[in-house]
Amino acid sequence: MAHETATPAPLGTTSAPPPENTPRIYVACLAAYNNGCLHGRWIDATTPDEITDKARAMLAASPVPGAEEWAIHDHEGFEGASLSEYASFETVCALAEFIGEHGRLGGKVYGYFGNDLDAAIAAFEDYAGEYRSAADFAEELTRESGTEIPSSLEYYIDWQAFARDMALNGEILVFQTGFDEVHIFWTR
């Protein structure tokens, strides 16, 4: 039985796949779309000028002569954040930068604030941190405030209920991004 060995590819001919989380948009030609033809291009959310140049090149290559209008028909790498079909490229890049900085949490905060990027950015000014649970946050907050809890009462305190009440009272916002991974924001 002969053993086959894989022949390595020549140097310089392989390329790594693009990162899966790179925010990018699918810009479609509306003239082609309205004529029953799909024509568009995936474009990384880098700079507004670069996106504009690539969108213009895509429109110039349209099967419909004189195509001028585009729309965002899809997007990926934005961690669940919504993007309008007609969002400006400046908005796309600003949101991509925000998601790049804050990841999945950024997508959740952006959605919570009704896709208002300014409000989502401002929320991070009141970021209290990451905890295993909201109950851990409530317990740490209480202990760091200097409140003395007699050891005979420690097991009777329901930290989860305390944290839930803080959230229901509008004192904190809680975002869960994974198992044993919650992020707390003050709502001051």
Provide the token pair at 167.
């959230």
d(CA 30, CA 68): 8
Q: Residue 101: in which H helix or E strand, if any?
A: helix 89-112
d(CA 86, CA 88): 6
pTM: 0.82
| CATH code for position 163 | 1.10.10
pLDDT of residue 21: 74
pLDDT of residue 76: 96
> 71 and 104 in one domain?
yes
pLDDT of residue 20: 57
> 102 and 70 in one domain?
yes
Residue type, 150: P
Q: Considering its fold, how many domains does the chain have in total?
A: 2
d(CA 23, CA 51): 12
Tell me, yes or no, whether 98 lies in a domain.
yes
Exposure string of 111-135, with b = 16+ CB inside 10 Å and e = fewer, is: eebebebeebbebeeeeeebbebbb
pLDDT of residue 101: 96
User: In tens digits, what is the pLDDT along the chain, a chain of 188 residues?
Assistant: 444 433 333 333 333 334 457 899 999 999 999 999 999 999 999 999 999 999 999 999 999 999 999 999 999 999 999 999 999 999 999 999 999 999 999 999 999 999 999 999 999 999 999 999 999 999 999 999 998 999 999 899 999 999 999 999 999 999 999 999 999 999 97
Last residue of a domain, one of 70, 94, 115: 115
d(CA 23, CA 162): 38
d(CA 42, CA 55): 9
> 99 and 182 in one domain?
no
pLDDT of residue 188: 77
> 36 and 107 in one domain?
yes
Q: Which domain holds residue 169?
A: 125-186
pLDDT of residue 1: 43
